Amino acid sequence: MLLDPTSGNMLRIITLQYNPDTLTRSLQIKSVAGDTPDRSEALRLKGPPIETIKLDAEIDATDQLEFPDQNPTTAKLGIHPQLAALEILAYPSSAQLISNNGLASSGTLEITPMESPLLMFVYGRNRIVPVRLTDLSITEEAFDAALNPVRAKVSLGMRVLNVDDLGFEHKGGNLFLIYQQQKERLAGMSPAGTFGSLGITGIP
C-alpha cells in the first residue's frame, strides 16, 4: 500500500496473488550498552529495535490464460504489469529524474534527494506497518510464446520504519506507534506463566 508521505492519502494498493508460505522477521535490539560492559546502561534501550521482514511470493497467470477473453491484459502481457508494480517501488519516478536533471543543467548546486511514497506493509489487520524496500529479487520461471513471463517467484526484503527514522509528527511515525501499541495489546493477551511452570517456587 502506497501513501502520500505528507498528506497520508492513499495512492495505490498492490496486492500479492497468493499469501506467502513463510514470513521471516528479525529484530535487532538497540541497547545503550551494546557490546560495552557498562553496569549503569545494561538495561537501557535507545529506541525500538530495527525490524526487518523477508518473504517469498508467487505470481502465476496460468489460470487466467485459460480464459484470454476475460483477461485480455494478461493474455497480451503475461504478468509484466504485476512485476512492474513491484519493481517500480525501487525507482524514483521518471518525472523526478527529469526534474532533477533540469535543475542540475541549470546550475543548481544542491538538489534534494527524491522522496518516494510511504510504503505500508499489510499482512492482516494486526500487521500494518511502514517499511522501506531494501531488497527485491524476481525469478521468472515460465513464459508465453511472446516471451512474456507467466509465472515468477518474488523475494521481498523490507525494513520497518519506526519513530526514530520518521519522527513522531510524520504520518509513518504515527502508524508505527499504532503498530507497536497493537503488539503491546497482543502481548497483554498472552497467558502469564507461573513459578510452577518454571519448576521453581520463587526467586532466591
What is the pLDDT, as a whole number, of residue 178? 93
CA atoms of 73 and 56, how far apart (whole Å): 25
Among 16-20, 111-115, 148-152, 194-198, top mean pLDDT goes to 148-152
| Confidence class for position 23, pLDDT limits 50, 70, 90 | very high
Check whether 69 has a pLDDT greater than 90. Answer: no
Collect all residues with Cβ–Cβ distance below 8 Å to 86 and sequence separation of at least 6: 14, 136, 138, 154, 156
State the burial class of residue 178 (Cβ atoms within 10 Å of its Cβ: 0-12, 13-18, 19+). Answer: exposed
Q: Which long-range contacts (CB under 8 A, 24 or more apart) does 72-77 make?
A: 76/148, 77/148
Report the pLDDT value the prediction gives residue 120, as an integer from 0 to 100: 94
Q: How confident is the model at residue 150 (pLDDT cuts 50, 70, 90)?
A: very high
Average pLDDT over residues 133-140: 95
What are the DSSP calls for 32-59, one per residue? Answer: SSTTS--GGGTT-B-SS-EEEEEEEEEE
More confidently predicted of 110 and 132: 132
**What are the pLDDT digits (tens) for 41-50?**
777 788 899 9
For 121, what's the count of Cα atoms within 13 Å in the CB-facing half-sphere? Answer: 24
Nearest to residue 158, comparing CAs of 198, 110, 120, 113? Answer: 120
Specify the pLDDT at position 111.
Answer: 65
**Three-state DSSP class for 113?**
coil
The tens digit of pLDDT for each residue in 26-36 reads: 999 887 766 66
| Cell numbers standing for residue 33 | 550498552
Which is nearest to 18 in space by CA: 55, 71, 54, 65? 55
Domain parsing of the chain, residue ranges: 2-182
pTM of the model: 0.81
pLDDT over 80 (residue 113): no
**Confidence tier at 4 by pLDDT (50, 70, 90):** confident
- The answer to which of 4-13, 29-38, 178-187 has the lowest mean pLDDT is 29-38
DSSP-derived 3-state class of residue 12 = strand
